[in-house]
Structure 1
Amino acid sequence: MQALLTARPADSRLRALAELVLVVAAFGAALSMMTVDQAVGGSVAAKLFVLARMAALVLLCTWLLRRSGERWADVGLRRPPRWWSVPLVVTAGFVGFVAIVMIANPLLAALGLDPPRHTDAALRGDLLEYLFWAGPVTWGTAAFGEELLLRGFILDRIAKLIGSPRTPAMLAAVVLQAALFGSLHFHQGLGGVLVTGSIGVLMGLMWLLGGRNLWACIILHGIINSISHYESYTAVAG
């Protein structure tokens, strides 16, 4: 692995593959130790673990970027060329998200699959629990952290592995990262994997539409999770 990470520029695809495998394996291993759903209503240690593992993954990607002479700006975390376009991309993305939600349940039912599983009963009516998940988790580990990793580092490495800047190749990279994004939500069942993968395609298309920029993706991801957590918090029995 060390030899692959220090390969010459001529071996950039091999280096991209090695970095991709390393980050995806680390991401999957961290999730297998404890899912987000398992941490809802859990101990302080469980909550700190959710935050710490994302910080560790971002630090790992930061180290890999620096070894390649890159920065986060090179994979999308930079000022948009036109700030006014960000709300437009976010709005288009939200419309796409609503369409996915409307189509998902009847389609999953037709396929004989259960909808995504969420164990968030502990969030209902608990203000402190809600504030933790709606604040540092929603906007920190999910919106910012996951977008840096998935639509930033991982999508960039897949694109480098494909080795073509043309639109069909970039669309293939978007689909591949979405498949990874969906598979990392294995704890939500097959229905959750398919729905999350569809959202991953949407986010990847937003990344392309926004000029390979992450800000619209970060904002929409935060909005989606904020709505989800608020609905869970306010769904109090009686």
Structure 2
Amino acid sequence: MTTTIEQYQMQPPELQGMGWGRFLLQILSVGIVYIAASVPPIVILGQGSNGILASVATSMLGALVVAWFWLRRDGTLTEAWILARPASWPKTLLMALGTTIAIILWFSLGAMLVEALGFNAPEVQMVLDFVVESPLSFVLWIVVVAWLAAGLGEELLWRGFLFDRLNRLAGIKGRIWLALLIQAAAFGLPHIYQGMGGVLITGVVGLFLGWVRIKSSWSLLPCVLAHAAVDTVMMSLAYAQKLEWIAF
């Protein structure tokens, strides 16, 4: 049965349950493919901008293909990945704009909070150095990473696939805020390369984006647009700083 945005309210409809064995199989298979698909581009292209860019793209693509396979096999694709045309574009865009502003403000406030807790602020300069290498590199990172891998890919994977699986999992099903917290923690952990501060700050972002999905009648569109916009703003500011258009 196809589920439309209009059929979702603050809670999803009655969901088919999922056992822990099937849940772990699906999560592990997605994770293994994600890691495995990230290696060949780096081996072939090296650890420079091109290699990292290709690695991000192939790992996300591989993970999404496996996630798509499981969702389609379980007959839950239209419930997990709601990207249909919204009932109101102005409302959707306004939600995305508010989410974008809130996340950008949180990055500044969160950096101060994690430092007050004794952790280092997130270190993302290495990534931004790749972004600003050249005009072509800047465009590729915006399109491939900000919009496709992060904006679309991460939202389909975390707020879509993982959140849906958790909402069906035995022991968690019916406890939507528990599922929300777990997906947020799982979203933060892969950002350990930014230090513990990055894990904490990104985890809060994941929590907020999960809440936005709930408030958006379970549509992923506001999350996708906001996530992509945040990364675009951050990369654009770094490039503008390199060109000495702005100074921090």
TM-score w.r.t. length of structure 1: 0.82
Q: What's the Cα RMSD here?
A: 2.8
Aligned equivalents of 1:127, 1:151: Cα separation in 2: 32
Aligned equivalents of 1:171, 1:64: Cα separation in 2: 24
Aligned equivalents of 1:17, 1:125: Cα separation in 2: 40
Which residue is 2:82 aligned to?
77
Matched-pair contact (CA < 8 Å) for 2:150–2:228 = yes
Residue 23 (str. 1) matches residue 30 (str. 2): yes
Matched-pair contact (CA < 8 Å) for 1:126–1:233 = no
Counterpart of 1:142 (choices 134, 138, 150) is 150
Counterpart of 2:136 (choices 128, 138, 159) is 128
SS of the equivalent of 1:18 reads helix
**What residue ranges of structure 2 are gaps of 5+ in the alignment?**
1-14
Matched-pair contact (CA < 8 Å) for 1:178–1:197 = yes
Aligned equivalents of 1:228, 1:206: Cα separation in 2: 21
Matched-pair contact (CA < 8 Å) for 1:206–1:217 = yes
Aligned equivalents of 1:30, 1:103: Cα separation in 2: 35
Matched-pair contact (CA < 8 Å) for 1:41–1:129 = no
Aligned equivalents of 2:200, 2:51: Cα separation in 1: 31
Q: Which shifted more, 87-96 or 126-135?
A: 87-96
- Pairs within 5 Å for 1:78-227: 78-79=83-84, 80-118=86-124, 119=126, 120-124=128-132, 126-161=134-169, 162-164=172-174, 169-227=175-233
**What residue ranges of structure 1 are gaps of 5+ in the alignment?**
1-8
User: Displacement of 1:228 after TM fit?
Assistant: 1.0
Letter in structure 1 aligned against 2:173: G
- Pairs within 5 Å for 1:46-57: 46-57=52-63
User: Displacement of 1:125 after TM fit?
Assistant: 5.7
User: Displacement of 1:46 after TM fit?
Assistant: 4.0
Which residue is 1:3 aligned to?
none
Q: Which shifted more, 84-93 or 203-212?
A: 84-93
Letter in structure 1 aligned against 2:57: L
Q: How many residues align?
A: 222
Aligned equivalents of 1:123, 1:45: Cα separation in 2: 13
Aligned equivalents of 1:101, 1:174: Cα separation in 2: 20
TM-score w.r.t. length of structure 2: 0.79
Aligned equivalents of 2:51, 2:133: Cα separation in 1: 22
Aligned equivalents of 1:86, 1:67: Cα separation in 2: 30
